Amino acid sequence: MIPREGTNLDPWYGLYADRTAGLSASEVRALFAVASRPEVVSLAGGMPFVSALPLESIRSSMERVMRDQGARALQYGSGQGTPELREHILEIMALEGVRAGVDDVVVTTGSQQALDLIAKLFLDSGDVVLAESPSYVGAMGIFRSYQAEVSHIAMDADGMIPAALVERIASLRAAGRRIKFLYLIPNFHNPAGVTLSWERRLEIIEIARREGVLIVEDNPYGLLWFDRPAPHAMRSVETDGIVYLGSFSKTLAPGFRIGWALAPHAIREKLVLAAESAILSPSAVNELVVSDYLANADWKGQIDTFRGLYRERRDALIDALEHYLPDLEWTNPNGGFYVWVTLPEGLDAKAMLPRAVKELVAYTPGTAFFADGAGRANLRLSYCYPTPNEIREGIRRLASVVRGEQELLSTFHPTGPVDLVLPAPHVISPPPNLG
């Protein structure tokens, strides 16, 4: 018989696995269709500016692959990824001090799949993942989907605070909790924009060794520095206790959906098996095109182009904040895509968002980046996609919203939610990515 235990909207509700309770849409997703309208300046999404790519070079790579390797490109490939792409990945990681062998690399469908595979391998219901405070929303969604709890560790302008990490490990273990790994974004952090100092990297590695905690080092932004390179990767000094994740989504294009994991031998073998179970093999077409591009194009020069472009936009955002919102606090990143803003006391970024979108500017409220409901006083601004002029106009609009909220607060009480009703656009573009 067809089961009857469901809701009126979903007759299969009673059959879902318990872990599906961790699958939930972002709290701001309902606003994305409106935020995607061309008249809205979106400072919300972490979308790279792919229009700056050398499209002719990429097109040439596609043509060469189909002409010279078409049958191979259209066939199933290795579950670990093509050897030539893994060789190129070694060259890229070497720029950040990482040394490894080609067999140590597992190619994944974006680094997001690598995170999902790691979670699948390690997490049971009730396990704990340690993460920065705040942390990447996409990672926390994965950890929740495997019924794990995210425990945040305090951070400051130099990244995660080692003493806070020691204290949290001790308190969790005293409570009988199982810590499975520490998840970090050490370079140009998403969403905070800060970089973990070299001294703290070494200290955290030593803490993890002593406590027997695996480190997952997620590094999608490391090569996108502005004034000076980030410190070498943590994986450059520790091989056995770190799984290192990389991606072409920010330094090339997210549409290729290619990332990778560099893992200790035993973990790597399980990652390959888990990847083959999930997708059989990554896209051979995309792997071969990216390999050809890396072999024939000036990819280092292209990363330099991205650095200059994003530096200009970072500067536009900081200048606009200093001009229009000088009483706010914010981080000043040396790379990556994001600035983390702290609002004046009493303002609520989540409650303020519908009003901001009504004034044709969008951001991501800080609550999206915490597992414990914190972050209402914060918001993330992304400068990677809008032009400098659009950024300045967006901050001008945001300033009018903040001033209006401050006036309301001084007259009545802290901000609360309002309904947002705008006419539907004729064409709705895809929602901006939170990543």
Query: Residue 17: its pLDDT value, please?
Result: 85
Distances (CA, A) of 77 to 69, 103, 115, 117: 13, 15, 21, 19
Sorted by where each begins, the domain ranges of the chain are 20-52+301-410, 78-281
Rounded Cα gap, residues 45 and 39, in angstroms: 15
Query: Strand locations in 5-65, DSSP E?
Result: 41-42
* pLDDT tens for each residue of 251-280: 999 999 999 999 999 999 999 999 999 999
Mean pLDDT across the stretch 229-240? 97
Residue 395 pLDDT:
98
Total count of residues recorded for the chain: 435
Query: Coil, strand, or helix at residue 365?
Result: strand
The answer to whether the CB of 220 falls within 8 A of the CB of 111 is yes
Within 8 A by CB and 6+ apart from 42, the residues are 35, 36, 361, 362, 385, 386, 394, 432
Residue 25: which pLDDT band, with cuts at 50, 70 and 90?
A: low
Of the pLDDT bands very low, low, confident and very high (cuts 50, 70, 90), residue 32 is low
Mean pLDDT score across all residues of the chain: 91
- Angstrom CA distances, 198 to 44, 51, 78, 95, 181, stand at 30, 34, 36, 16, 20
pLDDT of residue 176: 97
Rounded to whole angstroms, the Cα distance separating 318 from 383 reads 10
- Asked whether 379 and 341 are in contact (CB, 8 A), the reply is yes
pLDDT of the residue at 423: 41
pLDDT band at 27 (very low <50, low <70, confident <90, very high): low
User: How sure is the predictor about 410, in pLDDT bands with cuts at 50, 70 and 90?
Assistant: confident
Options 3.40.50.1370, 3.30.420.480, 3.40.640.10, 3.90.380.10; CATH of 78-281: 3.40.640.10
Residue 35 has pLDDT above 70, yes or no: no
Q: Which of 9-18, 95-104, 116-125, 126-135 has the lowest mean pLDDT?
A: 9-18
For the chain, percent of residues with pLDDT exceeding 90: 83
In whole angstroms, give the CA distance from residue 310 to residue 312.
Answer: 5
Per CATH, the number for 20-52+301-410 is 3.90.1150.10
Residue 23: the pLDDT is 73
Q: How far apart are CA 292 and CA 359, in angstroms?
A: 45
Query: Could you report the per-residue pLDDT of 179-188, keeping only the tens digit for each?
Result: 999 999 999 9
* Cα atoms in the Cβ-side hemisphere of radius 13 Å centred on 28: 31
User: 174 — phi, psi (to 5°)?
Assistant: -65, -30
Element (H, E) at 299: helix 299-324
pLDDT of residue 429: 35
Q: What is d(CA 339, CA 229) in angstroms, rounded to the nearest whole number?
A: 18
Query: What tens digit of pLDDT does each residue of 316-337 get?
Result: 999 999 999 999 999 999 999 9
Q: What secondary structure does DSSP assign to 219-286, as a single string?
A: -SSTT-BSSSPPPPPGGGT-SSSEEEEEESTTTT-GGG--EEEE--HHHHHHHHHHHHHHHSS--HHH
Indicate whether 122 pLDDT > 80: yes
Give the whole-angstrom CA distance, residue 322 versus residue 161.
Answer: 28
The residue behind tokens 């070694």 is: 90
